[in-house]
């Protein structure tokens, strides 16, 4: 039976020769993830069920990244509960203040996910790891509790959409523009409970950071997961990070897809998603000039080293507009260190930005950048729902680091091509 990449991974982890879309299976897990919001709920379920053992202390990761350093008493209590659970069972991969990073950037960086693996996380953007050719998906905290206890989870095998990429990315166009464009084409429910499987000659022009960004936002199209083929760039990324054997899976040539979407990267322009849905995508040139109050550069979507370099390249020698607050958040401690080594932190500070510790904070309106009534932010985050980053009457425009940095300088929604061309 012909299978997609995702179906092959799920079949292998279920111990089955083949699976097809719609099958219900039980699959073994290579990693179970939780954070400071979702892990405490899972711990409560775990204890209430009378569970006393975890399946593998090395295959559970708890990352305290959303409200840390703790913003208030409630967040401190949640972190304490997650921390005590990790200590109770000797969980190897507890990332707390001082070692923490934004979970979906941190885990690949630490080599905790490898090609061909099966990963669940009590966070919807767990689909990020499909960039490595793994099956990874978000689950509820109850499923996380069960996963920690028995190392298995049940899945309905998803059907797939084939996303064929051709051409090459143009200057100041990146993975964020690709995924916003795709969601704009198919809608926020266009891939509901399906696998977005990226393929085609254009994949080779995407950096690993581009792929992480694209896979991260597969959920914003309703997808169960997003996944990329394992190629030379993937192998280069995991070499020196992953210290265990891994398996490369490839879709069969005659695998069945529900549909195909073709994107010519040569034609793709800097793209944004206007409030209040990621599918409200427009080329930035069509909507530039909109007034803004805040810019956020960071998150699990766009807080990696290449994102920092792109933003710094635009902000270097320039100043953030007086009417704008610009918050720069490296995704991990290692990204922070590298920003310091390369002088990027100084560029951000000289431009008038805040340079933060790694945190998810502003993305979900948690802390470090909540917005007031009537304010608008350009953000490299992944969601722009009503009230997502603060007051219910605030607005979020999703954008790439290049567009975000250009907008910070211009004081309004702006194209990086205009800013760099003007040289102002």
| CA quadruple 228, 234, 235, 237: dihedral sign | negative
Distance from the Cα of residue 178 to its chain's centroid: 14
β-pairing verdict for 194-199 and 225-227: parallel
Contact (CB, 8 A) for 292 and 320: no
List, in sequence order, every beta strand (DSSP E) within 167-258: 194-199, 225-227
Tell whether omega for the bond before 420 is within 30 degrees of 0, i.e. cis.
no
Sheet arrangement for strand 60-63: 93-95, 60-63, 31-35, 118-121, 135-138
| Of residues 416, 401, 403, 166, the one with CA closest to residue 266 | 166
Among the listed residues 280, 299, 303, the one whose alpha carbon sits nearest the alpha carbon of residue 290: 280
Which candidate, 309, 292, 379, places its Cα nearest to that of 348?
A: 309
CB 307 within 8 A of CB 207: no
Interval 366-393: pLDDT, tens: 888 889 999 999 999 998 988 888 899 9
Closest CA to 338 of 380, 309, 295: 309
> Angle at Cα 57 formed by Cα 56 and Cα 60, nearest 5°?
90
Angle at 402 between CA 203 and CA 192, to 5 degrees: 50
Neighbours of 207 (CB within 10 A): 16
Class of domain 272-422 (CATH, top level)? alpha beta
Instruction: Tell me the CATH number of domain 5-263, given options 3.90.550.10, 3.30.499.10, 2.40.10.500, 3.10.20.740.
Output: 3.30.499.10
Provide the 3-class DSSP secondary structure of residue 185. helix
From first to last of the 424 residues of the chain, give the pLDDT tens digit: 899 999 999 999 999 999 999 999 999 999 999 999 999 999 999 999 999 999 999 999 999 999 888 889 999 999 999 999 999 999 999 999 989 999 999 999 999 999 999 999 999 999 999 999 999 999 999 999 999 999 999 999 999 999 999 999 999 999 999 999 999 999 999 999 999 999 999 999 999 999 999 999 999 999 999 999 999 999 999 999 999 999 999 999 999 999 999 999 999 999 999 999 999 999 999 999 999 999 999 999 999 999 999 999 999 999 999 999 999 999 999 999 999 999 999 999 999 999 998 888 787 788 888 899 999 999 999 989 888 888 999 999 999 999 999 999 999 999 999 988 865 5
Which residues belong to CATH 3.30.499.10 in the chain? 5-263, 272-422
**pTM assigned to the model:** 0.95
Q: Give yes or no for a contact between 136 and 124, defined as CB atoms under 8 angstroms apart.
A: no
Query: Cα–Cα distance between 398 and 404 in angstroms, integer?
Result: 9
User: What whole-number distance in Å separates Cα of residue 380 and Cα of residue 397?
Assistant: 9
Question: Is the CA virtual torsion 179, 181, 184, 187 positive or negative?
Answer: negative
Rounded CA-CA distance 36/71 in Å is 12
pLDDT tens-digit readout, 271-280: 999 999 999 9
Partnered with residue 387 across adjacent β-strands are none
SS3 422: helix
Q: How many residues does the chain have?
A: 424
What pLDDT sits at residue 402? 97
């Amino acid at each position: 039976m012909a299978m997609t990449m995702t179906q092959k991974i799920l079949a292998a982890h279920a111990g089955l020769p083949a699976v097809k879309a719609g099958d219900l299976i039980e699959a073994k897990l290579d990693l179970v993830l939780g954070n400071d919001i979702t892990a405490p709920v899972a711990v409560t379920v775990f204890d209430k069920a009378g569970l006393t053992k975890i399946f593998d202390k090395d295959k559970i990761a708890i990352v305290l990244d959303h409200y840390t350093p703790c913003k208030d008493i409630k967040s401190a209590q949640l972190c304490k509960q997650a921390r005590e659970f990790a200590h109770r069972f000797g969980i190897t991969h507890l990332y707390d203040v001082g070692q923490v990073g934004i979970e979906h950037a941190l885990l690949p960086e630490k080599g905790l996910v490898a090609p061909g693996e099966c990963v669940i996380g009590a966070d919807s953007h767990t689909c990020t790891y499909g960039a490595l050719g793994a099956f990874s998906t978000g689950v509820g905290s109850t499923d996380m509790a069960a996963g920690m206890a028995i190392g298995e989870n049940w899945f309905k095998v998803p059907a797939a959409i084939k996303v064929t990429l051709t051409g090459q990315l143009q200057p100041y166009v990146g993975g964020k523009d690709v995924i916003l464009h795709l969601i704009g084409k198919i809608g926020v429910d266009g891939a509901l409970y399906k696998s977005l499987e990226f393929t085609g000659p254009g994949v080779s022009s995407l950096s690993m950071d581009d792929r992480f960004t694209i896979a991260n936002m597969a959920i914003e199209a309703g997808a169960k997961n997003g996944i990329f083929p394992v190629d030379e760039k993937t192998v280069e990324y995991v070499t020196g990070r992953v210290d265990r054997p891994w398996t490369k899976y490839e879709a069969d040539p005659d695998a069945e897809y529900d549909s195909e979407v073709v994107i010519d990267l040569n034609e793709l322009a800097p793209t944004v998603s206007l409030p209040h849905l990621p599918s409200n995508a427009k080329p930035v040139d069509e909507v530039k000039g909109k007034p803004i109050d805040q810019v956020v550069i960071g998150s699990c979507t766009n807080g990696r080293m290449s994102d920092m370099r792109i933003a710094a390249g635009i902000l270097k020698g320039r100043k953030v507009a007086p009417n704008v607050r610009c918050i720069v958040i490296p995704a991990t401690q290692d990204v922070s260190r590298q920003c310091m080594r390369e002088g990027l932190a100084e560029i951000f500070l000289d431009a008038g930005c805040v340079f933060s510790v790694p945190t998810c904070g502003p993305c979900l309106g948690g802390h470090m950048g909540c917005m007031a009534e009537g304010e608008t932010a350009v953000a490299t985050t992944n969601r722009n729902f009503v009230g997502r980053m603060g007051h219910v009457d605030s607005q979020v425009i999703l954008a790439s680091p290049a567009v975000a940095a250009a907008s910070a300088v211009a004081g309004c929604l702006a194209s990086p091509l205009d800013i760099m061309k003007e040289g102002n």
